[in-house]
Homo-oligomer: A and B are copies of this chain.
């Protein structure tokens, strides 16, 4: 499958490398794919020159990465996701499955980050992306675990499921298919994209569990009566 990764930081590099290892073609899109930008270490990641050499993945500008793809991942910092997706362009996203992995975390007060009030309460980043790009099929997924766990869920032993939400059943099935290939065996479907409120609200919980428990290899399992 042809996959576009909007954002070149550690999450995009990790997801991209794992999807390439599964046989997919991945293009990471960044705003300005200049030689200088490719040689810069990215947040929580390597340089994209090194990433390409290691994985065989390509790097292009935002619109090119999305235009050639069947599935597009938003792996930008959540507070900047709408601006990045505007730079990608609605045309390049139309009809595509758009997997929203981003979290609208505000680090302005240092650690711990908190949910930006512009994207929480009676709204969420996932909903705002879907509202602004109505022709894209937004699926919120992968945002509740560390990047290493996204691609190797067995790093946390025992039963735990991937949360996802979105308005389009086919798009959710496609994302579940990719997740199964990565090793996920169970899913918690939170319904339409309003479920993104719940998925993004996991972040303050997850960050606190990390801080008090000493490891980001922690997640939440749903237990029902």
On A, residues with C-beta under 8 Å from B are: 106, 109, 112, 114-117, 120-122, 155-160, 188-191, 194-195, 197-199, 201-205, 207-209, 211-213, 215, 217-225
How far, in whole Å, are A212 and B158 apart by their CA atoms in the complex? 24
From known contacts A114-B121, A114-B122, infer whether A225 and B220 are also in contact, taking CB-CB under 8 Å: no
Contact status A208-B197, CB under 8 Å: yes
Contact status B157-A225, CB under 8 Å: yes
Given contacts A201-B204, A221-B223, 13 further A-B contacts (CB under 8 A): A106-B121, A112-B197, A115-B201, A159-B223, A188-B209, A189-B212, A191-B211, A198-B205, A198-B207, A201-B201, A209-B222, A209-B224, A218-B222
> What are 7 A-B pairs with beta-carbon distances under 8 A?
A106-B122, A160-B223, A188-B209, A197-B208, A198-B204, A205-B220, A215-B225
Most-contacted residue by chain B among A114, A194, A204 (CB, 10 A):
A204
How far, in whole Å, are A219 and B205 apart by their CA atoms in the complex? 13
How many Å from the CB of A28 to the closest CB on chain B? 28
How far, in whole Å, are A116 and B203 apart by their CA atoms in the complex? 17
From known contacts A197-B208, A212-B195, A225-B155, infer whether A117 and B117 are also in contact, taking CB-CB under 8 Å: yes
Contact status B208-A217, CB under 8 Å: no
Contact status A221-B220, CB under 8 Å: yes
How far, in whole Å, are A157 and B224 apart by their CA atoms in the complex? 8
- A191 to chain B: which residues have CB within 8 Å? 208, 211-212
